Structure 1
Amino acid sequence: MKQYRDIGDPLDGADVVLVGLFSARERRYEARLDQFAALVEARGGRVVARYVQRRGASDRWKVHPGGATRMSRPFSRRTLLTHGKVLEVAEACRKADIDAAIFVNTLTHVQRTVLADILGCLVISGDDLAANGGTGHRPLKGVTASRFIPRRRGAGRQRSQRYDTQQTEVAALAKQVGEWLAQGVQPGEIAICTRFNLLLDAVYDELTGVGIPAVRVRDQPGADVDGVRLATMHAMKGLEFRCVAVVGVTAKAVPFTKEITPSEVDQAQHDSDLLRERCLLFVAATRAREALYVSWSGAPSPFLPSTR
């Protein structure tokens, strides 16, 4: 599981993919990619792959006004590219453990947010990179909806652990929370998330049983309410904490079989469902600013890097 932190130059030492959507009329798209590759390399990054999608006017558009204009428009207001192309890039990013995806196109805030969650890495708009220059080392600012990017290999403050039973897993979690509190982290700066409420109930009982205050995010506790925050993975989106524990990350929970369309019924939907499940885990894990703890009992989720 990757960790995340704030850093001055996110491309220094990073493995990067270049992604671009181009009109079928644009002939110099390869030259544009070369320019961005040079900018990445000037900042110490390494371009490991390029992904291009081109948009042309259909026969229907050719006989109606506005066809040429449509060629320059995104396929999607949320992801820029087609659904299939996004899945292709996401799978490549996962397999190659990519640190950043640079889109040569201008991206909206929504597109950056959605793409970062789907691709599982930092997403940078070409405008951000070009505006900051390629030869200097000025920080890239405001390049993604999430301010966190992967640490380089070997960095600390991350722990993953397997347990034989759920009971021992929950007990170990309470011990981990106690260690964070002893380090000076306030209860409200700690979050624990699970896939299902049933496990979250067990976590609540364990924490309160050893004297650690806990509150549920769904109850919308104010900043003045003391207690470790408890939430399902779905409820973690948009939140941020110093320390986060993601527990119950088992093969049965993530992905959850009932949420996955069988491949023999619809392969495309099956792949899309798996990607959505992977993104759910990614979002939960990236809520941590300083420390991330991941645990499971029994068979681990196939989405955990150590199990692939």
Structure 2
Amino acid sequence: MTGRDFVVGDLHGSLRLLEIALEGVHFDRGRDRLFSVGDLVDRGQNSLGCLQLLQEPWFHCVRGNHEDLMLDFLDDGHQYGSGSRHAWLDQANGSGWYFELWHERAYLEETLVPILRRQPLFLTVPLPDGRQFHVVHAEIVTAGYDMGEGHLAFWTDDTLSELPGEMERTAFVSGYGDVTTFRNRLLWGRSQVLSLNYGAVPEDELLGMRPGLSPIYCGHTILPGPGGGTSWPLVLQSHVLLDTGAYQAGRDQNRGLTVAEPLTGGFWFFGAP
């Protein structure tokens, strides 16, 4: 019998909070599946433990920008250029956990990193009732869209198959702050959130579901949980934003881990235990 599918927001090392969340939704490791929007590592207390989830048969993940920065560091700046190799070391990125590893360093690099390299940039997942949902870290917006143009351009479910061919096209990536390859929009883009915040696009063009485009579960931009004064979860043109700052749980009652169930449309929020 088919189990349930769940999607979880950015973990950032918050393994204990994830365990609480899985218990709260009655997750069955023998039947259910958990999809992650990426950013398993950095800032929180157990990045290594979150990376170990990649070995679980029920866990499925897309690459986040923090994993991309980590791999770029390990690859001597291959992805972003040699000058960017040390970007991951910025204190704000929270990579100190890696340098505290001793015996586990070889295990991480020899066992977990090869698995991490195989994680896709986006996923499309069919549901038992014939619908589907997508998973990406930041956003799926066409290369021609930029904040401030006053219009939006998106793929639909029928045209998302064209996405791999767009990866090396250049585009300005809002949130990344530069013209770069379009693949980085999937990892870094914040054009929709920034457009909403700055009024660059009318709210009625941004908020809610977009016809012809199934839910896209994403993270990357920290937003308040329920009771934070904004809609939770925020939905912008079919993008369902799930990052509610799990690693900050305990510092703020509106920070925690958000879990979604695409088939039922259910959402749960788990704050500090």
Q: Is TM-score (shorter-chain normalized) higher than 0.5?
A: no
Q: Which has the larger radius of gyration?
A: 1
Is the strand fraction higher in 1 or 2? 1
TM-score tier by shorter-chain length is: under 0.3
Higher helix proportion, which one? 1
